[in-house]
Chains A and B, each alone.
Chain A
Amino acid sequence: MTMPEAGPLLQVTDLVKHYPIRKGLLRKEVARVRAVDGVSFHVNPGETLGLVGESGCGKTTTGRCVLRAVDPTSGRVLYRRADGEQVDLATLEGAALRHLRREIQMVFQDPYSSLNPRMNLLDIVGEYLVVNHMAHGAKLKDRVAELLTQVGLRPEYMTRYPHAFSGGERQRIGIARALSLNPRFIVADEAVSALDVSVQAQILNLLQELQGKLGLTFLFIAHDLSVVEHISNRVAVMYVGKIVEMAATQRLFSLPRHPYTEALLSAVPKPDPRLKRQRIILSGEVADASRVPSGCYFHPRCQYAVDRCRTEAPVLREISPDHLVSCHRAEELVLAGIPVEGDPNSMLPAAPPPRKDQASA
């Protein structure tokens, strides 16, 4: 991967997180769950990288390693600070790490369990400001009011408790809290998965609007492909701890080059009864991350697998500019994507969409 002068905001290289399985009296390690098994990607400033995959593919663990909510087993997580200096989040300790936590925030999936029911909105949204000695008293109230307005809630709600709010409003509260320290980078882990569709659209629009206004960078982790397509500039697809394909959103969805991406796109039920397409139904289930298959992890379910796939593990390689695939047969296979609605040029490589002006419009 190339690193231009300005450089990405986040550069993850060979990130590994293994969890040991211990058994017996001596707690001997009998196996390892390869939750994240050598993941490399970068996120450019101001963009949204979508991380998709099925449960157990390691997308959440990747997000948590980036936040340093868990310590990675190995690998580097280079983050470019506001002053331009690069630091490795994987090894940073103590005060330096604590200081950086202001810049990187998280939005959680469940708006019910992520808010303390005994704290009112002033306490919830203002907590980070208080513990960081950044505001108190009237200044704190002003800042919280400003944050609530920013996410579309009325400042008068400050004295209310979470139970008085619906799921969508709670997610707004969670977003206001994440914004309180003026972060530059936000990890959103299934941030809209628990919401009803009519509310989900509101939150997706809010996230895009805030990104344009505040110049935020997102790592958007989700299993819902249509949501990821909607919000991401680029998308990385994970399967059993590894990235199998990564490309610009439109390109990945219209011209997938990895058989797993193709199957995943094909499996999503489309909300149109007239589309009675031939679906690819994968046999079997997602491989167990503690007992991974030989060769390519996807080969037992892959309809295109050949002998080489059973023995040799493919590496993630660039098959066309900014399109990375980890498949031995990527060049020869012709895979079906999702045709882009009303765009005859959808088969052409996608230019990065001009996101900022759209989001603020």
Chain B
Amino acid sequence: MTAKRDLLLEVKDLKTHFHLHEGMVKAVDGVSFELERHTTMAIVGESGCGKSVTARSILQILDRGGRIVNGEILYYRAPAAENGTPPPAVDLAKLHPDSPEIRAIRGAEIAMIFQEPMTAFSPVHTIGFQMAEVITLHQKVAKTEARARALAMLRRVGVPRPEQSLDSYVHQLSGGMRQRAMIAMALSCRPSLLIADEPTTAIDVTTQAQILELMRELQQEYGMSIMLITHDLGVVAEMAESVMVMYLGQVVEQAPVDDIFHDPKHPYTQSLLRSIPKLGAQGGRKLETIKGAIPGPYARPSGCLFHPRCPAFMPGQCDQIQPPLIQLDDGRKVSCLLYAEPAR
């Protein structure tokens, strides 16, 4: 790890498990990563890989039965001091989900936007009421001032006729406008981290282009970090600076975005990139596939979780040894025995 990195968030060996009637689901099973200030990191993976649960663990908004059982989520409010003394950190993993400490952070310093704005807003309150509620909850301002700020925010994110939208209900807005309103609400307290969970998955491509452009602009303007959770590798390539690939609750690879797309190390990342049809790549050819399917949550394979589907499977090793997250010479991290020291 290089010094002088301005970290905003440091997650160490996070484990979030769900205790359900059917058994225990290891949704997140030992995830570690760092997020620098003012940067965008993408978490990619297929359904059930734990990308959303990782994000929800940070904010302590897990669904019923879910609990952080291990690990630290260190949140650094201020940048490191010049003399090298580590900045004060808050361990979000230790906070109770209902504690005043996390409630002061949630929605103010760390905000989140969701895939489906229709369910993120209350259907029986106006957009303006809900936005003003967030503002007055975290900042000492009068109601009229909160309303004025909400209006300014709506105008900033490009909602047409913002005065009118302030008094509308969420069902009266179109999909793209709802997403804009949700971004406006999330950014109304100027968070230092915006967690975006599949922010454009439910909307059309031309609207998606608008929303992604808006998020980039606002990041420039407000200097926040973005944690982008998505399964769309195209969105990752356009938005992120660094990428973390997850599979079944574990990190398989972490690297700068260019390396992920042009020099992927883990066989899962490689297969994933090869299996997407690319525009301009002339149809008709057979797509490369990853054999089999993602295992269910109660049938986790032994050893490396990807070994039953892996094209580089080494019998006797991959099915027995759980690969550690190996740091390569260039600082990238990959969890695969192919890159382990030859000490066998």
Contacts and interface: CB of A to CB of B under 8 A. Distances in A.
* Binding between chains A and B: yes
Interface stretch (B74-82, B121-129, B267-275): B267-275
B286 interface: yes
A260 to B, nearest CB: 9
A105 interface: no
Interface in A228-283: 229-232, 249-250, 253-254, 263-275, 279, 281-282
A343 interface: yes
Contacts of B233: 197, 271
A138 B207 CA distance: 53
B280 A253 contact: yes
Interface in A302-361: 338-341, 343, 353, 355, 358, 361
A264 B293 contact: no
Nearest to A54: B204
Nearest to A353: B284
Nearest to A350: B282
A225 B210 contact: no
A197 B293 contact: no
Contacts of A205: 286-287, 289
B134 interface: no
A266 B208 CA distance: 11
Interface stretch (B105-113, B146-154, B257-265): B257-265
B290 A198 contact: yes
Given A205-B286, A353-B283, A230 B208 contact: no
A204 interface: yes
A226 B279 contact: yes
A88 interface: no
A232 B293 contact: no
A285 interface: yes
Contacts of B235: 269
B283 A264 contact: no
B206 interface: yes
Contacts, number: 153
B280 A273 contact: no
A166 B289 CA distance: 16
Nearest to B158: A283
A167 B289 CA distance: 15
B39 to A, nearest CB: 14
A84 B238 CA distance: 50
A315 B105 CA distance: 56
A68 interface: no
A135 interface: no
A168 to B, nearest CB: 5
Interface string A197-219: 11111101100100000000000
A223 interface: yes
Contact of A271 (B205, B273, B293): B273
Given A269-B235, A272-B237, A353-B284, 15 more contacts: A167-B293, A200-B275, A201-B276, A205-B289, A232-B283, A266-B209, A268-B234, A269-B234, A273-B238, A274-B262, A281-B206, A282-B209, A282-B210, A285-B174, A338-B279
16 contacts: A167-B47, A198-B294, A199-B293, A201-B275, A201-B288, A225-B279, A226-B279, A229-B281, A268-B205, A268-B234, A270-B278, A270-B279, A271-B234, A281-B206, A341-B282, A353-B284
The 10 closest A-B pairs by CB, nearest first: A269-B234, A54-B204, A230-B277, A196-B46, A201-B275, A201-B287, A198-B290, A267-B209, A338-B280, A230-B283
